[in-house]
Amino acid sequence: RGRLLRWPRVLLFGDSITEYSFQENGWGSYLAERLVRKCDVLNRGISGYNTRWAKLILPRLIPESTGADSIVAVTIFFGANDSALKELNPKQHVPLEEYAANLKSMVQYLKSVDITADRIILITPPPLQESAWEKACLTKGDKLNRCNATTGQYAQACVQVARECSTDVLDLWTLMQKNQDFSSYLSDGLHLSPKGNSFLAAQLWSRLENKLSALPSLLPYWRDVDHMNPEASLL
């Protein structure tokens, strides 16, 4: 028998913006489609979670025994919940300094299990479109519980952590607000619209492509299989 076929893995770790990324035209499914013969793209998005909770889960997702060699990239995409306003959303809110410390400790954990900095991409929360998110809050009987300027501070902290830890970073908060009204990137003021998904997918792909382009396609192209002796090609 041939040896076990192992697909390398790309791990998407984040909150609802990651959890929803496998929906139709989602940024996660875009990556999965591009990498289908090369990697498994694992969605480990957990709606509503913040870095305080994520930090506890990460070692359970990637135990030391996993063999970090099989993990070729990890995205860490938190902040949309951490940056919720303390007085209006104390359950999800994480203070700015703690948010930065939590991100840093997650990166340090990954490095401790031999996932090197060049395989880690931090993603900042996207900008918040307050009027649209206020509508979403009101339908649940809540007040507006986030604000864009605050989210921007968390985005800045995320960029700073990436700089200190030498990881890649995708500053979605800044990029989405460059020279334009960013509301079309969001479906409800907080989560991504189809346009926001394709924006993130393109930005992320431009960072991942050079890391992953060297990976071989697993199993030969069908025309290259020796049909008289398939074992020779496939085992």
List 105, 183, 188, 198, catalytic entry:
188
List 15, 21, 83, 191, catalytic entry:
191
200 near 208, Cβ under 8 Å? no
Distance CA 10, CA 172 (A): 20
Active site residue 131: no
Query: Dihedrals φ, ψ of 175, to 5°?
Result: -60, -40
43 near 18, Cβ under 8 Å? yes
List 16, 29, 187, 193, catalytic entry:
16
Distance CA 76, CA 46 (A): 12
148 near 181, Cβ under 8 Å? no
| Nearest by Cα to 176 from 198, 161, 158, 159 | 198
| Nearest by Cα to 17 from 81, 71, 60, 61 | 81
Active site residue 193: no
Active site residue 188: yes
According to DSSP, the β-strands at 9-14 and 71-77 are parallel
Active site residues: 16, 188, 191
